[in-house]
Structure formats: C-alpha cells, structure tokens
Structure 1
Amino acid sequence: MTQQRTGIVSRSLDTIERVGNKLPHPITLFFIFAMMVIIFSAIFSAMDIRVEDPLNEGEILTVKNLLSAEGIQYMFTSAVDNFTGFAPLGTVLVTMLGIGIAERSGLISTLLRGLATSVPKQLLTATLVFAGIMSSMAADAGYVVLTPLGAVLFAALGRHPLAGLAAAFAGVSAGYSANLLLTSLDPLLGSLTQQAAATYDPVYAETMNYAMNYYFMVVSVFVLTLVGTYVTDKIVEPRLGTYQGGIQQEEVEKLKPAEKKGLIGAGIAFVLTCALLALLIVPEWGPMRGPEGEIINSPFFTSLVPIILIIFLIPGLVYGIITKSIKTDKDVADQMSDTMATMGAYIVLAFAAGQFVAYFNETNMGIILAIKGAEFIESTGFTGIPLILTFMVVVAFINLFIGSASAKWAIMAPIFVPMMMHLGYSPELTQAAYRIADSTTNIITPLMPYFAIVIAFAQKYDKKVGIGTLIATMLPYAIAFSIIWVIMLIIWLLLGIDLDPGSPLYYTR
C-alpha cells in the first residue's frame, strides 16, 4: 500500500517537475510580465475600461497606455528609479550585511549545532523542529546545516536518520515564515505589501510597519513545534520503521572550547545590544518613540531594517573575534563582500521585478483589477473565511511552480492586497495568509531550490531515496502544518486579535 501511495505521489510530482522545468527563470518571467503589462495597457486603454476611484469620490480611473508617446517616455525615464525604488531591494541587501557576518563568522552554524546537541534525548525531536523554524533568521543556512545534522543526531541515538532529517527539514522549510525574532523575510514581504497597499490607500500604507505579523508568527513557532514533533514521532518515524541501512551510529561533533567561548561572548553582546536598543524606545524620552511618546508607528518600527542589521552584526563580530574567524577589519569587509556577491541573482531579479511592479502601478491596472475582482466576489457573496482559504489554496498551488516567496509576492501583492482591502480585509491579514500557504507547501515541491540537496543528504542513508520517497515522507508535515496553521488563523479572526501592535485584521478607510 505504501509503495502504491509513493508511486502515485512520484507520478504526480514528475508531472509537476516537467511543467515547472518548462517555466522560464523568474528573472525572465518578470520581463515577460512587464511586456504583458505594456501590451494589455494598450488593449485595455482602447477598450476604455474604467472604475470609480475608491479614495476620491466622483473621480474616474482609466488604464494608462504605455505604448502611447507619454507611456514610452515614462518607461525610458523611469527605468533606473523603478530599479532603485523597488521596495525590497534595499531592505534585503542591508539586512544581509548583518546576517552575512553572523553566518560567515560561524556563529549561526555553531549556535544551531550547540542547540541540537545539548538537549535531553526525549526532547530531541522538538528541539530539531524548533531549531529548524528559528533557523530562518539566518536565511537559508538551516537547509545546509540543520537538515543533515538532524539525520546524524537520530542515527547517533539508534533512531531512523531519515526521521531526523524530515523533522529538521519540516522546521526549516515548512515553518520558514515563523520565528521569535524578526528576520529578513519580514521587511522583504512587508515592503511589497506596503507598496501594494499604497496603490489603494497611500495614507493607510504609511501607518504600516514591517513587524505587521509578529504576534501571530511568534505564537506559530510553539504551535508548529508541537505539531512537527507529533508528526515525526507518531506518523513519520513509525512509517519508516527500523533503520536497516548499515550505517554505523555517528558521533556528532561537540562544540570546541573556542566555540563555546564565542557563543558566550556573542550571547553577552546580543543582550547588551538589545539593552542599548531598548534605551532608544522604552523610556518616555526615548528618541525612537513617535510624537507624544507613541510606540506604535514610531521611528523604531520604521527602522527595523538597520536594527536587524545591528542585532546580527555585533554578536557575529564578537563571535568571530573570539574564535579567530575574524582577525582584522579586512576579514569583516571580505565576509560582507562575499555575502553581497551571493546576492547578484537577486539584484538582477529586483531590476526585472521593479519594472513590472512600476508598470503595473503606473497603468492603474492593479487597482482597476482589484476593484473589478472585488466587485465580482461581492456579487457572488464569496467573502469571509472561504475567501481567505481560497486565496491560500491559490498561493499553495503557485508555490509548486515558483519557489521564491518574494518573487510570488511581487506578482500577487499588487493584485490581492488592494482587492482584499476593497473587501474590508487589512494588508497585514492578507500577508499573514500568504506566508502560511507559502511556507507549508515548500517541503512538497521539487522545484524548491534546496529540495535536491535534501535528497542528496537522505541518499547517504538510503540510496533509493528519490523525489517520491521524500515527498511521501514530508507530505504528513505539509498537511498537518496547513490544517493547524489555518485553524489558528481562523481562531485569530474569530477572536479579533491584532496580528501585531497597530496591525489590525480588518481595513477601514
């Protein structure tokens, strides 16, 4: 029966893989989308499609033709500004400067290894899932550090190594959006959400902050840890059975004295850094408070990008100095430069996506499509929780073909954020629903960049592991995470709890 299920999954994924492999590179996709906006702007302009401006009663919005003389001038004169003004570009590059030091100095990998090797055996599964979820603070480091480590730890205890690999992979990938800290994903998606909201209500967009889903994602960490632990211990490991691979139990490399000293130093630096930052906002006289001492929508919240940079940079520097991975300022510069060198593909993607987003906004097609779509949905009576669930299903399906969270959101945010605002749902809620659907299906798509790497890790213990085997192992996590996370969001909606200070569930003009 298991073989039949695996065969069905394998055939389904083979189809998805074939279709997905025929898609152009995301960079090419955005250039294609930009060209489509140009062509459709001319068509829709000729059709005289128009709607009433929701912010200015009595005014009419029409589609601007980018193939007109004025439109052609706009495309040429705005190309550079469209690139440099692409909201996620600066936020990602700045945060990665700090995260790059923490990662390349060795702090992140040592922290993950120390966390996973210092807990009681009975808490190992929960620790792996928790560490996997938290690893998103170091971008994609969890895939290459924690996933193989999970297999090694389980093998060292005589448990099935693939169960340990699966637990870590589920935390790292399916729980990618959740974290106790703000990560580079928050400003990355938040900037796109804010940019999309501004096309519908610029005033409301100015009140938004990048921590718009923080409360919800903090609670999600503990909920997903419990779910991932249960699925591993009660479903995945029993299904895998007793390991017969012949690999001897492995010893996990314990932390060296220098690494322990480095972690202690980094921990002290982290506490002191947070304390100094707290002085900027906790006291009533704090310079990072807003007018009249307000905290919500204060300069603190609008400065989260450099704050994330500092929080990762200083502990990373301290760790590197103590462990000798950083000896001079040249090492710091080199590590930052190496990090930026890996961002080349993202910078090119930002140029292409910047043109698409700018064209979409300039033509008014985004706001018109949002209003027309919202009116259609309203006419069918399809609103509320069913609407949100349908949106999440669409996101999950698209994630099977386009793995990048930012690439998908750059395409979807200009359409769905204004549409949901028109129906009375906040951009913050739309982004939370997106993050859930995007995360939970990462582990079941072979087009996710690290999927092949995880298979390679698994083949160390079982040469027969392929796409079907891995997907069959990870499917219970995807289903369980999706169901529990959706239920959690529905409870959040029914109780009317804000997603974060100043981040409501519903939108009102």
Structure 2
Amino acid sequence: MSSAQTLTRRTVLIDRVLGGIERVGNKLPDPFMLFLLLFAITAVASTAMAWANVTVQLPGTDEITVIKGFFTAEGLTWFTQNIGVNYVGFPPLATVLPILLAVGVAEKSGLLAALIRKAFGSAPRWSLPYAVAFVGVVGSIMSDAAFVVIPPLAALVFKAAGRHPVAGLLGGFAAVGAGYSTSLFVTSLDALFAGITTSVTQNLPNAGSVVTPVSNYFFNVVSALVLIALAGFMIDKILEPRLGRQGIAREEIIDNDDVSGPAAMNTRLTDTENRGLFWAFVAGVVVAGVILVGVLLPESPWRNEDGGFLPRSPLLSSIVFIVFATFVIPGLVYGKITGTIATGSDVPRVMGHAIKDMSGFLVLAFILGQFVALFNFSGIGSWLAVAGAGGLESIGLTGFSAVVAFVLLASLLNLFIISGSAMWTLMAAVFVPLFVLLGYEPAFIQGAFRVGDSATQVLTPLNPYMIVLLTMLRKYEPQAGLGTIIARMLPFAVTFWLAWVAVLSVFFFFDLPMGPGNGIMIPQ
C-alpha cells in the first residue's frame, strides 16, 4: 500500500472518529437546557450531601466548609433573593459586554476589515495559521478578553486572505484556550499563581527557592513556542482541510447588518480608507500614550500600595477598559473619516448590532449564571477538588509518574473548575507540600499545574466562552452544537497536552531551570 493511500485511509478514519464524537456531542441538549439540567442535578446532589452532613476541609486551613443544599430553607431563600444578582454578576458578562460594544464600533465602522486587508494583504497565505496561533497563545496577556477578541478577528483575517473563516474562528479559540497558562510575556496570571504558591510555602521548612512571577518564565517561553508551532500546524493541516471536506459555509448565513458591507473584504483600500486608517492609528497612539502617562506617573492611582503593578493593581484590573478604549476610539475616528459613522446616533446603532449578534449568549448567560452561582454557593466545587487531590495523594506515586498523574488530575478537574486561580488555590494547598516533601521545587509543581490548567478547558461546556464561540459559529453553521466544537477542539487539546507534557519531561530529565533561580529539585 502506497504512502498516499495510507494517508487517505488515516484521514478517513480520523474524520469518522471525530464525526462520531460530533454526532454524540450534538445529542446533548441545547446549551440552555443542558445547563438547566446540570443546575437541577447540582441542586439535588447538594441537598443530598447537605442532609448527609458532608463537609470539606481546605488543606492548610482550620476552616470546615459545610456543603449547602439547594432544597433547604437556606438554599431556597438564597436563590429567590439572588436570581437577578446571579445573572448580572455572572463574571463573563463584565468582560464580554463592554468588549462587544467596542469591537462592534470597530467592526461595523469597517476599521477591522480595512486594517486586516492592509496588514495581511501581502502576507503569504501559508503564514496566517501560524500568525493566528502566535496571537492566540500569547493572548493571555489580555486575560479573559482574549476569548472574545481573538477568534472573530482571526476569522476576518482568514476571510480576507481567501481562506476558511471558520478555521480562523475555531483555531483562534483553540490557541487562546489550550495555551492560556503560557505566554512569551510575563502576565498577571504569573503573578497570581506565584502569590498563591508563596502563600502555601511560607510556613514550610526547606521549601526551596522563592517563587516569583518569573519563576516559570523559561518553561513558559519554550512551551509557548512549541504550542504556537503546533497550533499553526493543526489549523493548517487538520482543521481547515476537514472543514472543506465537510462543506462548511465560508460566508455568514445569518445577516449581521455589516455597515461596511461584505464586499469590503475583497476590494483594495481606497484613498479615503487609507486616510481613515492613518488617523485611526494616530488615535490609537494617543490612547496608548494617555494610558502610559497615567500609569507611569510615580503617584499613579493605577499602581498598587507598594507602587508597583504586580501581583495585583488597578492597572491589571483595567484590562477590559484598555481593550474597550483601544477599539472604540480608533473605530469612531475611522468611521467619521470614511463616513460609515456619520452622526452620533450611528454609534448606539452599530453597538446595538453587535449586541444583537450575541443575543443568544445573553439569554444563555442567565442559566449559566444560576448554575455557576449554585456550584459556588453549595461548596461542591471545593469538595470535588479536595476529594480528587486526596485520591491522588493516597496512591503514593513518586518520580515523574507522580507529576504526570498530578497534571492529569488537574486536566480532569479543569473540566469542572474553569478558574485557574481557584483550582490552584485548592490544589497547591495539598500538592505543593506533598511534592516539597519529595524534594521538588514549588516552581516546578506550579509549572506542571499550568499544563493541566489549560489543555482541557476548550473541551468543557462549563467554559462560558465556549458558549460565546458557539454563538459565533452558528453564523456559519446554524445547526452546530456543543458536540461540533468539542469534536473540533479535541485534536488541539490532545496534541497540546501531549506536547506540553513532553516539554515538561525535557525540563525534568535534563534538570533545566524553570525560570531565573528556580530549578526542578530542591538543593540538598
């Protein structure tokens, strides 16, 4: 049998497996009904556990958490009093809505389309998957905003180059999600993880080197480069060809009232558009300059109490505003010069179009908010994490196999607890002391956690940004469901996980430093 025939048979087999996963996944209820069912299951389970007086003690503390039941006097009064707060307080809304309004201005004014045509018009088509992969993997510097901003922009980039926009959309999401815990740059997540690790180790004897925001930097850089190359390859060689074989539409089936017009993506920039881009760029530089001046002033209110920016500061909490200003102000300038935004009344109109495009997510956010709130109120999330960690601890594994088992547990828990900081808070309290006793540096265990914290979050329906992605995908595939996304994300998740563990093993077996001053084993 020739190599071409073998490759064809392998491609057919992969398509059949992924197609089966998609069909099974799409048999899941509609997302609204799915989370309504999960809410009901959590309500019943929490009540049974409350009646059984189930408790959980967070390792490293004397605090006993009592599981609270939904169908109890406390649970029912909590729900009836907080149903609105649960919805409005759903965390992704605070990120998604402002960015949608700003991106709506930049998109509907025609700025994004023109910018993409200008930037990628002469770029080789082969390089686009790797450009999207690069932006996605390092996009964690924007925190959760990356999930909202990067996928639709990647779709526009692919469409402008005559490639499949859905490949850009899904590839951008995969790169952001599966590579969320790593970057070429030091991010707020590095500082957050380091702070949690330090809080666990400060009372441990012989706890190794101090953990800082750059303690995983060498590991992060190598991981990011590997994941960028893999993500670009997967988008180019796996995802996009399969979309073509499936006959997925390249144009949006649902009309989104694009102000700039669909033909804009296929025409050269006019003098007016070039002038609009120039002044939009000037506006962007002014916005960046104003932010930098406000931040770099010695007495800047955006500094923390120590006068810095890490691990926490008003600046790091202002990412959504920075993204908002970066999109909306240049978008308004571009629209005014090109005439796509002629009057002040056009601004709320284009913003309204952006919100209308995401109305499905706003409805889903109601039940998502109720489910997440109940999960946190009941304490079941903490119980799951502690029980899983205790189970791994009881196995008594040593060596690198114990590290891989730890990564695997983090990957499984990541399907239920999306917040990396919340999960690391729980897991670090158990596993950092455990691995310190085995002689491992805390920074190495923190790096191992990063692998499990990212790779599987593109597979779980509990990731609220997957619902945002589904809303975007249905513009091309109205019948798409969660199974569609899971089937297309699975190759990324598996490949990223294996490659990332391989990188971790290289650092382990060659005793390479994870970052400045942080190795693998505690010096004896």
Scaled to the shorter chain, the TM-score interval is 0.5 to 0.7
Q: How much does 1:93 deviate?
A: 0.9
Q: How much does 1:453 deviate?
A: 7.7
Alignment correspondent of 1:246: none
Which amino acid is the alignment partner of residue 25 of structure 1? D
Deviations 1:176-226 (A, max 9, x none): 3469xx9xxx99xx8xx99xx9xx99xxxxxxxxxxx99998887765554
Q: How much does 1:484 deviate?
A: 4.5
Match of residue 302, structure 2, among 265, 269, 288: 288
**Counterpart contact for 1:133–1:172, Cα < 8 Å:** no
Match of residue 288, structure 2, among 260, 274, 278: 274
Alignment correspondent of 1:94: 98
CA–CA separation in structure 1 for the residues paired with 2:422 and 2:342: 46
Which amino acid is the alignment partner of residue 390 of structure 1? L
Match of residue 390, structure 1, among 395, 408, 433: 408
Q: How much does 1:339 deviate?
A: 1.3
Establish whether residue 48 from structure 1 lines up as the match of residue 53 from structure 2: yes
Q: 1:132 to 1:416 in 2, by over 3 A?
A: closer
Deviations 1:324-356 (A, max 9, x none): 211111111111111122232222222212212
Secondary structure in structure 1 of the residue aligned to 2:296: coil
Q: 1:432 to 1:305 in 2, by over 3 A?
A: farther
Q: 1:40 to 1:127 in 2, by over 3 A?
A: closer
Deviations 1:122-166 (A, max 9, x none): xx42245314654867344246423344446xxxxxxxxxxx889
Which amino acid is the alignment partner of residue 117 of structure 2? R
CA–CA separation in structure 2 for the residues paired with 1:455 and 1:72: 39
Q: How much does 1:79 deviate?
A: 1.3
CA–CA separation in structure 1 for the residues paired with 2:490 and 2:42: 37
Match of residue 356, structure 1, among 360, 366, 371: 371
Alignment correspondent of 1:113: 117
Q: 1:338 to 1:61 in 2, by over 3 A?
A: same
Q: 1:221 to 1:273 in 2, by over 3 A?
A: farther
CA–CA separation in structure 2 for the residues paired with 1:351 and 1:11: 36
CA–CA separation in structure 2 for the residues paired with 1:268 and 1:220: 35
Secondary structure in structure 2 of the residue aligned to 1:51: strand
Alignment correspondent of 1:325: 340
Alignment correspondent of 2:130: 129
Establish whether residue 265 from structure 1 lines up as the match of residue 266 from structure 2: no
- Pairs within 5 Å for 1:41-190: 41-54=46-59, 56-57=61-62, 59-119=63-123, 121=124, 124-131=125-132, 134=135, 138-142=149-153, 144-151=155-162, 171-177=171-177
**Counterpart contact for 2:67–2:379, Cα < 8 Å:** yes
Q: How much does 1:8 deviate?
A: 1.4
**Counterpart contact for 2:65–2:379, Cα < 8 Å:** yes
Match of residue 14, structure 1, among 15, 19, 39: 19
Gaps of 5+ in 2: 1-5, 137-145, 201-215, 243-264, 433-441, 479-483
CA–CA separation in structure 1 for the residues paired with 2:298 and 2:420: 40
**Counterpart contact for 1:100–1:336, Cα < 8 Å:** yes
CA–CA separation in structure 1 for the residues paired with 2:303 and 2:404: 39
**Counterpart contact for 1:129–1:167, Cα < 8 Å:** no
**Counterpart contact for 1:150–1:165, Cα < 8 Å:** no
Q: How much does 1:309 deviate?
A: 0.9
Q: 1:440 to 1:352 in 2, by over 3 A?
A: closer
**Counterpart contact for 2:407–2:451, Cα < 8 Å:** no
- TM-score, normalised to structure 1, is 0.67
Q: How much does 1:167 deviate?
A: 8.0
Q: How much does 1:418 deviate?
A: 3.0
**Counterpart contact for 2:392–2:406, Cα < 8 Å:** no
Deviations 1:69-104 (A, max 9, x none): 222222211211222222222221122221221122
Which amino acid is the alignment partner of residue 69 of structure 2? N
Which amino acid is the alignment partner of residue 37 of structure 2? I
Structure 1 stretch displaced more, 331-340 or 167-176: 167-176
Alignment correspondent of 1:3: 8
- TM-score, normalised to structure 2, is 0.66
**Counterpart contact for 2:150–2:173, Cα < 8 Å:** no
CA–CA separation in structure 1 for the residues paired with 2:43 and 2:18: 35
Q: How much does 1:440 deviate?
A: 9.7
Q: 1:319 to 1:100 in 2, by over 3 A?
A: same
Q: How much does 1:372 deviate?
A: 1.8
Which amino acid is the alignment partner of residue 70 of structure 2? L
Which amino acid is the alignment partner of residue 2 of structure 1? L
Alignment correspondent of 2:355: 340
Alignment correspondent of 1:247: none
Q: How much does 1:257 deviate?
A: 2.1
Alignment correspondent of 2:439: none
Structure 1 stretch displaced more, 272-281 or 11-20: 11-20
Q: 1:220 to 1:96 in 2, by over 3 A?
A: farther
Which amino acid is the alignment partner of residue 8 of structure 2? Q
Q: What percent of counterpart residues are identical?
A: 28
Q: How much does 1:300 deviate?
A: 0.9
Q: 1:453 to 1:148 in 2, by over 3 A?
A: farther
Alignment correspondent of 1:423: 431
**Counterpart contact for 2:451–2:500, Cα < 8 Å:** no
Gaps of 5+ in 1: 153-163, 202-212, 241-250, 399-407, 457-466, 499-504
Which amino acid is the alignment partner of residue 147 of structure 1? F
Match of residue 307, structure 1, among 322, 334, 342: 322
CA–CA separation in structure 2 for the residues paired with 1:26 and 1:495: 44
